[in-house]
Structure 1
Amino acid sequence: MPPTSTTTAAARRQISSRRRTSAPRRRSPPPSPPPKRMKLLTEILQKAAYAVVEREDYGDVSCEQCRSGERSEELLLCDKCDKGYHMKCLRPIVVRVPIGSWICNKCSGDGQRRVRRLSQRKIIDFFRIQKCKKDDVKMKCRSLQDSRKRRRRSLVYQKKRRRLLPFIPSADPTQRLKQMGTLASALTALHMEFSDDLTYLPGMAPQSANQAKFEQGGMQVLSKEDIETLEQCRAMCKRGECPPLLVVFDSCEGYTVEADDQIKDLTIIAEYSGDVDYIKNREHDDCDSMMTLLLARDPSKSLVICPDKRGNIARFINGINNHTPDGKKKQNCKCVRYSVNGECRVILVATRDIAKGEKLYYDYNGYEHEYPTQHFV
């Protein structure tokens, strides 16, 4: 008997449903990646921070300062504007060829540098100023009494044994904050941390290498009284009583230091601080402020202070042109290496009375005469 129409329709639905559920699904092919298009050079130059197209010939490059193309071995080419500058025509001058890329002052914005002001709270945190305690006040009173006793000594005794003097901080706390603010702004602009101590880091010279007994020919020993004066200066700095100095940016000389008050002869200006390393590790370093710490009998053990990461106001005191009489007249400080409790330390001391507003200068060479100063202002 043939099936009815209803039965046939139900069977078709069942078969069709089985076919739909049991039939394998076809996967759609993955979308083909869009064809890669090479970027035009104009698009790259628009998005890049800076890019310079190399010239075929640099023979016509001249210095932007002196307009001379001579001494091509001393010409530095800016990686942004591709202009040339003599190393000794730059202010401050560049002593060594920089490692890696180099950008001129105009492109880096140093010529129009704005000194960023820091608030009082930030200045206190930046220098890690400690709160004054009663014991500190007593010690301060005693030190003042000791300094008065020294002044009462006879003139003959003072000439026979001249002692270092502690700096006298500004009486106005607001003025002291202003002085520290200029230093904090300068250190921040150079991406440096403040430090009044010598730092010994892994991979550099250890503290055990800094011993005055390794000095070739011996090193002068700082007397007990002068050590106490040095420690008094360090204690004052920790309390926020800084030396009366301002860090000022000069378009010709770069960062300079000037006296914000009168400074007497033989006053301790600052102790040179920074990372301690072997000279052999810094032979090709482009840091322009390295200071000799130890000249050992074995040259491989000689040490330098490198204030490129950490340092204090000594980093910004400029050098004189010791090839001219006018340059020598500007010198009002000297940098002396002392043995302090058996360890080498570098101290900047005033060599004459310094008036308020006068810039601080010292001879970078001392007795070594290896640093090129004939092009200093």
Structure 2
Amino acid sequence: MASSAAPRVAARRRTRATKREYDDTCCEECGSGEFGSELLLCDHCDRGFHLFCLRPILPSVPVGSWFCHSCSSSSSKNINKTTIPRFPLVQTKIIDFFRIQRSSQSVCQDIHQKKRRRARSLALTSKKKRRLLPFTPSEDPARRLEQMASLATALTTTGADFSNDLTYIHGMAPKSANRPAYEKGGMQVLSKEDTEALNLCKTMMKKGECPPLMVVFDPLEGFTVEADKCIKDMTIITEYVGDVDYLKSRENDDGDSIMTLISAANASKSLVICPDKRSNIARFINGINNHTPEGRKKQNLKCVRFDVDGEARVLLVANRDISKGERLYYDYNAYENEYPTEHFV
């Protein structure tokens, strides 16, 4: 990420714009003229927009012409909520779509038992590091079907298949390339207790007990995600999944949801997650930037990368209590142990 002291040079070179016009350009979203190297100029109206202020965020300057939302005539602009074909609320179709294990056995009781055991241990070791919590599914099976149908609608509309795991496709990065040891500066290791919580979330999903989230369509933000019940701080919301590929193969990719998996000291070993063909609900959770007080106020998730049993994984975790109906946002500009946006593509 460029610093405020860096020379302000517009990201797109325009033949009819002078250097003075570059210096006067400000972002239409945040009003700032800083981070000039990330200011993108509309090819129609000449207004400026930071790459990280756009929704969806742009990973890099697009190849060819680019038009802002007001000037764009792309098909995405013309998506209307009434034209989106809703996935049928039929249990058998939803079970097949998400490949749910056909079993009446529930793991909800296991969650409550684990929570009770954990509560007793925390009472004695309150000074220890806070642990991650598995999500608590909605109690009503019919409501869970509605939640899954909303996700199936979004995935179907965007042409993606459901996957709740990292996938390794021939011609992309092999699984052997996912080595947390490559991470520049090292990668934090997920503890045994937190790994159990993550595995419990995975098991619940396989049983059709999904996180209490609803995917909705917003005319400005597109598909976005809302909490369908109260969610406690430190709860695992979901894992960020998709096809794993080398960053060098995706540097000019136009995808708006590519996520860094490994930022290696050797750039040729850096990996990204590409959720355009296979993904879960993480793809539809919106990011915010932390350049404004409004952005910081919106953030209710953090994006953290962990070494999980020798494999790099990305988790979205609640960083405060989340109310029912609240939209989920994670920070594109986090630092330290959270997601490093200087590597976001």
Q: TM-score by structure 2 length? A: 0.78
1:125-183 per-position Cα deviation (integer Å, ceiling 9, x unaligned):
111111125xx54x653443222111123446234231111101011111111111111
| 1:150 aligned to which of 108, 111, 118 | 118
Distance 2:111 2:54 in 1: 45
Query: For residue 42 of structure 2, what is the amino acid of its counterpart?
Result: L
Distance 2:254 2:126 in 1: 43
Distance 2:57 2:263 in 1: 26
SS in 2 for 1:249: strand
Residue of structure 2 in register with 1:272 after alignment: 240
Residue of structure 2 in register with 1:130 after alignment: 101
Residue of structure 1 in register with 2:56 after alignment: 92
Structure of higher CA gyration radius: 1
Distance 2:143 2:93 in 1: 16
1:335 aligns with 2:321: no
The answer to whether the Cα contact below 8 Å between 1:278 and 1:303 also exists between their aligned partners in 2 is: yes
Residue of structure 1 in register with 2:274 after alignment: 306
Residue of structure 1 in register with 2:138 after alignment: 170
SS in 1 for 2:103: coil
Distance 1:152 1:164 in 2: 16
| CA positional deviation for 1:300 | 0.7
SS in 2 for 1:160: coil
Cα 1:230–1:108 change in 2 (3 A) is closer
Cα 1:341–1:100 change in 2 (3 A) is same
1:75 aligns with 2:42: yes
Cα 1:272–1:123 change in 2 (3 A) is same
The answer to whether the Cα contact below 8 Å between 2:183 and 2:263 also exists between their aligned partners in 1 is: yes
Residue of structure 2 in register with 1:236 after alignment: 204
1:199 aligns with 2:167: yes
| CA positional deviation for 1:336 | 0.6
Query: For residue 84 of structure 2, what is the amino acid of its counterpart?
Result: V
| 1:185 aligned to which of 133, 153, 171 | 153
Distance 1:162 1:346 in 2: 18
Distance 2:73 2:142 in 1: 33
| 1:118 aligned to which of 74, 87, 98 | 87
The answer to whether the Cα contact below 8 Å between 1:76 and 1:87 also exists between their aligned partners in 2 is: no
Q: Is there any run of 5+ residues in structure 2 with no aligned partner, and where?
A: 1-14, 17-27, 29-35
Query: For residue 124 of structure 1, what is the amino acid of its counterpart?
Result: I
Q: Count residues in correspondence.
A: 299
Query: For residue 370 of structure 1, what is the amino acid of its counterpart?
Result: E
Alignment of 1:216-365 (within 5 A): 216-365=184-333
| CA positional deviation for 1:98 | 4.7
SS in 2 for 1:266: coil
Cα 1:340–1:109 change in 2 (3 A) is same
Cα RMSD over matched residues?
2.9
SS in 1 for 2:125: helix
Cα 1:127–1:105 change in 2 (3 A) is farther
Distance 1:362 1:272 in 2: 12
The answer to whether the Cα contact below 8 Å between 2:94 and 2:148 also exists between their aligned partners in 1 is: yes
Cα 1:322–1:147 change in 2 (3 A) is same
Distance 2:291 2:77 in 1: 32
| CA positional deviation for 1:365 | 3.2
Query: For residue 145 of structure 1, what is the amino acid of its counterpart?
Result: Q
Distance 1:192 1:210 in 2: 23
1:370 aligns with 2:342: yes
The answer to whether the Cα contact below 8 Å between 1:76 and 1:86 also exists between their aligned partners in 2 is: no
Which 10-residue stretch deviates more, 327-336 or 104-113?
Answer: 104-113
SS in 1 for 2:302: strand
Cα 1:234–1:85 change in 2 (3 A) is farther
Distance 1:225 1:350 in 2: 17
Residue of structure 1 in register with 2:8 after alignment: none
State, as a whole percentage, how many aligned pairs show the same letter: 58
Cα 1:107–1:256 change in 2 (3 A) is closer
Which 10-residue stretch deviates more, 83-92 or 306-315?
Answer: 83-92
The answer to whether the Cα contact below 8 Å between 1:211 and 1:342 also exists between their aligned partners in 2 is: yes
Cα 1:369–1:143 change in 2 (3 A) is closer
Query: For residue 222 of structure 2, what is the amino acid of its counterpart?
Result: G
| CA positional deviation for 1:187 | 0.9
| CA positional deviation for 1:218 | 1.3
Distance 1:98 1:363 in 2: 23
